[in-house]
Amino acid sequence: MPELPEVETMVRGIRPLVEGRQLLSFRRCPCSCRPLTVSPSLRTISSRLRGQTVAAVRRRGKRIVMEFDSGLILAIEPRMTGLMLAADPPDTAHLRLEWTFSEPVDTSPRQPGDDDPRKTSTIWFWDRRGLGTVALYTREEYEAVVESGRLGPDALELTAAAWATRLNRTSRSVKVALLDQKLVAGIGNLYASEILHLAAIAPSRPASSLTKQETARLARSVRRVLEQAIRDEGSTLSDATYRTVLSEPGRYQNRHRVYARAGEPCPRCGPGSEVQRIVQQQRSTFYCPDCQRPPR
């Protein structure tokens, strides 16, 4: 957490507040926690970016990528508990960073008497555990450090054929393979369980053992789960950490089929089939042993 749907929601939330605006200031909030990993130093980033305009903000896997008109790229990785916020942080003790942007750089002439909707905007990075990272790259550095080989294609961009090729290469279990950001970027522990349940595939199956039909079902399930979760603005779990940019809870937790539902009836099989929790590579996996049964 946060995974692809939550990070996509953050990007969509901050986009109108940052795109086409000039960065006026970027500073650390008064926070007594251990500082975040920021590279190079915040002072250096701030002096290199101040006055520049954000050309675009987009998501890459589980990162927020802010591209400035000079070509510099600020990559923000929320990791465990990081949030982008424009309102009401859960607390002020864990507010870490603050960006202030100018009013939108607008070239169209204003008519006399128009209301002026343009004003500055402020966004924050909030992080309870402080494992999030912020890094500034030139375009070449970004390609070399973030892209080349380290991040697979985005989970929403993979075709069924591409899924087959990538899963075929690994004998790890399909659940573990889904979490490998080199294989596919954006899926984490929560959505991996949800996707495999919807696809009716046992999480322990070796990825390379999936049939063509199963791979096609997996590809469809990835898209269905992630797109619905984006429409629902992500999942806010019982710890209530994840919030949207406007500090509201997500809604996809209401649709969770198996995640954190051990002992409850399977939504597909009904009473008599209980969701079970197992541990794969130190991470919880939730599944139904009846409709996600490995083939004999």
> In angstroms, what is the minimal distance from the CB of 261 to Zn ion?
11
- The answer to whether 274 and 284 have CB atoms below 8 angstroms apart is no
Active-site residue, 119 included: no
Active-site residue, 283 included: yes
Question: Rounded to an integer, what is the distance from CA 64 to the centroid of its chain?
Answer: 8
Q: Which is nearer to Zn ion, 196 or 266 (CB)?
A: 266
| Helix segments in the chain, DSSP class H | 4-18, 42-49, 139-142, 160-168, 174-178, 189-199, 212-231
The binding site for Zn ion (CB under 5 A) comprises: 266, 268-269, 273, 288, 290-291
Q: Which is nearer to Zn ion, 249 or 267 (CB)?
A: 267
- The answer to whether 141 and 173 have CB atoms below 8 angstroms apart is no
d(CA 281, CA 106): 51
> In angstroms, what is the minimal distance from the CB of 251 to Zn ion?
24
> In angstroms, what is the minimal distance from the CB of 218 to Zn ion?
16
| Residues with Cβ within 8 Å of residue 259, at least 6 apart in sequence | 190, 193, 194, 235, 286
Query: How many CB atoms are closer than 10 A to CB 200?
Result: 17
Q: Which is nearer to Zn ion, 175 or 243 (CB)?
A: 175
Active-site residue, 62 included: yes
Catalytic residue (choose from 60, 62, 205, 261): 62
> In angstroms, what is the minimal distance from the CB of 263 to Zn ion?
13
Catalytic residue (choose from 12, 217, 223, 283): 283
Q: Which is nearer to Zn ion, 156 or 291 (CB)?
A: 291
> In angstroms, what is the minimal distance from the CB of 250 to Zn ion?
25
Active-site residue, 2 included: yes
> In angstroms, what is the minimal distance from the CB of 280 to Zn ion?
18
Q: Which is nearer to Zn ion, 264 or 290 (CB)?
A: 290
Concatenated DSSP letters for 93-149? TTEEEEEEEEEE---SPPPTT-------EEEEEEESS---EEEEE-HHHHIIIIITT
Residue keyed to tokens 């309870």: 128
Q: Which is nearer to Zn ion, 142 or 287 (CB)?
A: 287
C-alpha separations of 207 from 15, 23, 122, 170, 187 in Å = 37, 45, 44, 6, 15
Query: How many CB atoms are closer than 10 A to CB 104?
Result: 19
Query: How many CB atoms are closer than 10 A to CB 169?
Result: 12
| DSSP β-bridge partners for residue 274 | 265
Catalytic residues: 2-3, 62, 283
